[in-house]
Structure 1
Amino acid sequence: MKYLFFALLPVFLLSLLMPPPGVFDNRILTGIPFKILEEHSFNRDSTTKIGATVIASGLDVPWEIAWGPDNKIWITEQKGVVSRIDPVSGQRNIILQIKDVWFLRTAGLLGMALHPDMKNHPYVFLNYTFLRDEKPYSRLVRYTWRPDTLTNPKVLMEIAANNGHSGSRLAFSEGKLFWATGDAASTTFAQDFKSPNGKILRLNIDGSIPSDNPVNGSPVWAMGFRNIQGMVFSANNKLYTSEHGDATDDEVNLIEKTKNYGWPGIQGYADNTKEVELSKMTSFAAPLKAWTPTIGPAGIDYYRRGNITQWNNSLLLVSLKGKNLRALKLDAAGNEIIGEEVFLDSQFGRLRDICISPTGDVYISTSNRDWNRTMGDPLPEDDRIIKISPASKTSTALRGVKASTNVSNATGYQQYCASCHGGDGTGLKGVFPPLKASALVKSGELPLIKKIFQGSAGAVVIGGARYEGQMPSFAFLKNKEIEEIANYVRKLQPDKYEAIDPRSVDIVRAEISVK
């Protein structure tokens, strides 16, 4: 059992408005030197030595990068700038600055998609957050491309947003626009069919609803998502997403229309009694891959065939927390992940997005200037776009690493807590409270342990300051892991504290009846 409140969740969520019967069933839970990398390949006889070169630097959180029909890399930066970058010269051309972007934490200018037929439909689609009457919203806008500029914005849709959990990725298939939305930090939106949040939506390019959508008059294609960070169609038109879990179970999913992907009641594979029961109540689809400890998956792309032969028919996934690039080898049908290997581990910091050129060169963007900076970041040259391509014969090779369940051999605190409270425990103003000089720690070891077990569902006020971020329960951890995290938090304090008594963890677990 991962979360105590899930025991009562189905009763509440069953009261949510249902979609038409037989279609959706939501009865569950509402200028850097050239570096060469020689990695283990999926086919050792056809390994291509690959090199990484920085082609652009000095960017400010490039959220989306996409290969354009002009052979330029189109990028969005979180504070509202859209640019094109020449991948050969690195020259940057700003084509749009959106003035009303609301930027905070992971809110801002996010997803972008270029119409696949720009000659006949010169449209660029953008998603960004903005404020209206001091409330955040997420806006989907279609712009028209004219030489060196984007013009004629047409608002297609606006939905609820938050300073986190806003998604957002955009992708095209067969002339239709797919929009992956976040749950806006709501525990009900993802399972409320009438809410567009926590969904994958399918739209016509004018914002209208296609007549062949699963439910007449609804944009919903699939539901039950927390915070999708990557979305891509493969060569055979299969749709894949990458998604942030909560404390556990970051996911890669194969998306099918009308399926329910479980959030918030099911996380990962439905691997405990409560989740199994909930999965039987709906058209639940399990992920292709889930990671615990979490890796912070971000942008994803499909490598069909190119000059890095070992990546043919693979999903390429970059990660924020894991700080690496993962090659996820697919079976011939694209229905299973049959291999996983890690590249660029911690070499460039947090990685946000990825795109692939027609020849198979890979481009990735860093995210070291975002809200969740780790110690030592950003570097003066951040943020950067890095090209990965076949290396020259004179290059020196470096060997990579096999995929592991560990996250850079981090402590429990770094694995589960640092992404919100910071590696040094300073927190984030207005969102996540600092753990340094914490009144909770001063109150004794039992309250601290209880907080780790139970988390918090709503805003808290500490020392007169309000923090809006939610904290999940970590009751799924073993007692020894909770003990280690509690001791680490105590070490962050200016005062010296003795190690906690291991029996205190036993007492708290028994008290809250978590087995």
Structure 2
Amino acid sequence: MKKRWAGVKIGTGAFAVAMSFILFQCRQVQREPQTRFNIVLDTSVLAVQELSTNNKVPWELMWGPDHTLWYNEQEGRIYRLDPASGKRKLLLRINDVAGKTTAGLLGMACSAPDPGTGRSYLFAAYTFAIKDSIGLKLVRYLVQKDTLIEPKVIAVASGFRGHYGSRIAILPDHKVYWATGDGAQQGSAQDAADLKGKILRFNVDGSIPADNPVPGSPVWAKGFRNIQGLTFSDSTRLYTSEHGDAAEDEINLVRRGGNFGWSAIEGNADLPDEKAFADSTGAIDPLRSWTPTIAPSGMVFYNHSRIPEWQNSLLLVSLKDRNLRVLSLSKDGHSVVKEMIYLDKLYGRLRAVCVSPEGDIYLSTSNHDWNPYSKPAPGDDKIIRITKAGRITAKLLPGKAPETKVSRENAMGLYTVYCASCHKEDGSGSPGTFPSLQTTPLLDQPQQLIDVFLFGKSTGNNPNRMPSFKFLNNEEAAAVLNFIRSRWGDNNRDSITATAVQERRGIKKKG
């Protein structure tokens, strides 16, 4: 029997082989994610692709020991994702994760196979319930084919009300670095006996290295508020990204035994009390800080030839500013010499970033988390890949330099950069966490409104307190407060003046 196909006579067997080949090619084409956008650099064209959709708050991305992408979800699941096929497999479900707001399954990292045994270990940090409190623990798992077994608790920190951190990095010398937040507990970051607000250093077996700064202590560095990113360079310099309070988000270059100032110092030590603390403790200034804050999150060092324009850079994703920042470093790695922004406001909150051995970049969105900027988009949460492309096939996304500080004449701009991430652009807030400005009685109480704005306010056991904005000058503070009162109240006849703000500063100081 003969079949006719495309005008050519072929046998039944050959026909089947040909059709199989065509179907295989079609499957291969379907597996390649569509390029949604292109980024054009000096000589490189990059493709932005959506590799995986409908995830729920992927908190960490890492390249696994089996040459696939591993990621977790905050509720307690760890997955393996094959970038070629887009298929994922559940590796582990951790049942004792206590998740609320920023708590849950957080950072993870995998050790290289041991030269002697061939064993590889995954380290994961997650929160769990301790009676009326929350603890944070570092757990080691043995990687065995397509599962994780033999959990071993390496360290436990307790007494958290928030600010958990928590990222993990494993250096080529097989030392494990674990970054913890300060627990929203005043003084913990400076307390040498408290594991909160620190970078802790362990051997892979969980023991404490003999060359740690203090014998018998895992503390490698202290004085951190809420570390959200941790990465090391080719020369094993260790960098962190960290949330400030209302001001001074930071990038830090970590030094052995270093003190990074929190909570005595925010950002650079440029106030009299901060300078005195730095002089007495040797506290270290950040490489870069941002005010207004950007809520930096995951960070990775990039030095691959695949994208030469981004070599020797820190790739940083952000939650509040919702973008990817490329921070080009000096040759010695001790300063940021250039900063560029990509994917700005395009995918919403970005939580994690990692780099494959081939130099591809993977990002995850975080639009189903506790503080979404807006309603999640269809397909959220997503895992996105940035890879080298041969040509332009999609909409171009230009990069941009950071914007200059918003002037006090732009009251809406000031509200957007200082208030909207919590209270939202429409003033609706987040139920149970951030109050609505549409209904707050403070709109009719100008003195109390000024005091809350300048000096902050705590409510019960809620760690997400209203921070202090006293670093703004009187004119800027008045502009923001009048914007709020005129936007969500009927209070234009009784405007707040810069003089009124200054008076409240003075009264509070005397009190």
TM-score normalised according to structure 1 size: 0.87
In structure 2, C-alpha distance between the alignment counterparts of 1:490 and 1:349, rounded to whole Å = 28
In structure 1, C-alpha distance between the alignment counterparts of 2:344 and 2:487, rounded to whole Å = 27
How far did 1:469 drift? 2.7
Bigger drift between 94-103 and 478-487 goes to: 478-487
Report the counterpart of residue 26 of structure 1 in structure 2: none
Contact 1:291 1:405 in 2 (8 A): no
Report the counterpart of residue 319 of structure 1 in structure 2: 318
Report the counterpart of residue 428 of structure 2 in structure 1: 426
Q: Which amino acid aligns with 2:169?
A: A
- Deviation string, structure 1 residues 455-514 (Cα, Å, up to 9, x no partner): 12x434xxxxx7443222211102222122212332454x52226231422322332349
Mark the runs of 5 or more structure 2 residues left unpaired by the alignment: 1-32
The reply on whether 1:156 has 2:154 as its aligned counterpart is yes
Bigger drift between 336-345 and 56-65 goes to: 336-345
- Residues 255-294 of structure 1 aligned to structure 2 (within 5 Å): 255-294=254-293
Report the counterpart of residue 54 of structure 2 in structure 1: 58
Aligned match for 1:86, one of 79, 82, 89: 82
- Deviation string, structure 1 residues 383-414 (Cα, Å, up to 9, x no partner): 1111111223242533221222458x972222
Query: What SS does structure 2 have at the residue aligned with 1:469?
Result: strand
In structure 2, C-alpha distance between the alignment counterparts of 1:389 and 1:492, rounded to whole Å = 44
Query: What SS does structure 2 have at the residue aligned with 1:470?
Result: strand
The reply on whether 1:115 has 2:95 as its aligned counterpart is no
Contact 1:435 1:492 in 2 (8 A): no
Report the counterpart of residue 138 of structure 1 in structure 2: 136
In structure 1, C-alpha distance between the alignment counterparts of 2:181 and 2:421, rounded to whole Å = 18
How far did 1:221 drift? 0.3
Query: What SS does structure 1 have at the residue aligned with 2:485?
Result: helix
In structure 2, C-alpha distance between the alignment counterparts of 1:85 and 1:406, rounded to whole Å = 41
Report the counterpart of residue 469 of structure 2 in structure 1: 474
In structure 1, C-alpha distance between the alignment counterparts of 2:487 and 2:129, rounded to whole Å = 36
Report the counterpart of residue 490 of structure 1 in structure 2: 485
TM-score normalised according to structure 2 size: 0.87
The reply on whether 1:49 has 2:45 as its aligned counterpart is yes
Query: What SS does structure 1 have at the residue aligned with 2:273?
Result: helix
Report the counterpart of residue 36 of structure 1 in structure 2: 38
In structure 1, C-alpha distance between the alignment counterparts of 2:34 and 2:159, rounded to whole Å = 38
How far did 1:335 drift? 1.4
Mark the runs of 5 or more structure 1 residues left unpaired by the alignment: 1-30, 461-465
- Deviation string, structure 1 residues 134-166 (Cα, Å, up to 9, x no partner): 311001111111222111111111112535200
In structure 2, C-alpha distance between the alignment counterparts of 1:49 and 1:492, rounded to whole Å = 44
Contact 1:190 1:197 in 2 (8 A): yes
The reply on whether 1:511 has 2:504 as its aligned counterpart is no
Q: Which amino acid aligns with 2:63?
A: W
* Change beyond 3 A, Cα 1:333–1:252: same
Q: Which amino acid aligns with 1:238?
A: R
Report the counterpart of residue 125 of structure 2 in structure 1: 127
In structure 2, C-alpha distance between the alignment counterparts of 1:277 and 1:237, rounded to whole Å = 31
How far did 1:333 drift? 1.5
Q: Which amino acid aligns with 1:417?
A: C
In structure 2, C-alpha distance between the alignment counterparts of 1:69 and 1:144, rounded to whole Å = 12
Report the counterpart of residue 372 of structure 2 in structure 1: 373
Report the counterpart of residue 439 of structure 1 in structure 2: 441
Cα RMSD (Å)? 2.0
Report the counterpart of residue 195 of structure 1 in structure 2: 194
- Deviation string, structure 1 residues 367-393 (Cα, Å, up to 9, x no partner): 111111112x31121011111112232
The reply on whether 1:449 has 2:450 as its aligned counterpart is yes
- Deviation string, structure 1 residues 48-95 (Cα, Å, up to 9, x no partner): 121200000101110100011222111011011100111122111111
- Higher helix content, 1 or 2: 2
- Higher strand content, 1 or 2: 2
Contact 1:293 1:415 in 2 (8 A): yes
Whichever of the two has the greater Rg, that structure is: 2
Bigger drift between 354-363 and 480-489 goes to: 480-489
Report the counterpart of residue 385 of structure 1 in structure 2: 383
* Change beyond 3 A, Cα 1:52–1:496: same
Contact 2:112 2:120 in 1 (8 A): no
How far did 1:132 drift? 1.9
- Deviation string, structure 1 residues 195-242 (Cα, Å, up to 9, x no partner): 010000001222221122111110000000000000011100100110
Report the counterpart of residue 459 of structure 1 in structure 2: 459
Q: Which amino acid aligns with 1:427?
A: G
* Change beyond 3 A, Cα 1:101–1:424: farther
* Change beyond 3 A, Cα 1:84–1:473: same
* Change beyond 3 A, Cα 1:414–1:398: closer
Contact 1:129 1:161 in 2 (8 A): no
Contact 2:60 2:108 in 1 (8 A): yes
Contact 1:140 1:157 in 2 (8 A): yes
Query: What SS does structure 1 have at the residue aligned with 2:289?
Result: strand
Contact 2:35 2:47 in 1 (8 A): no
Contact 2:119 2:143 in 1 (8 A): no
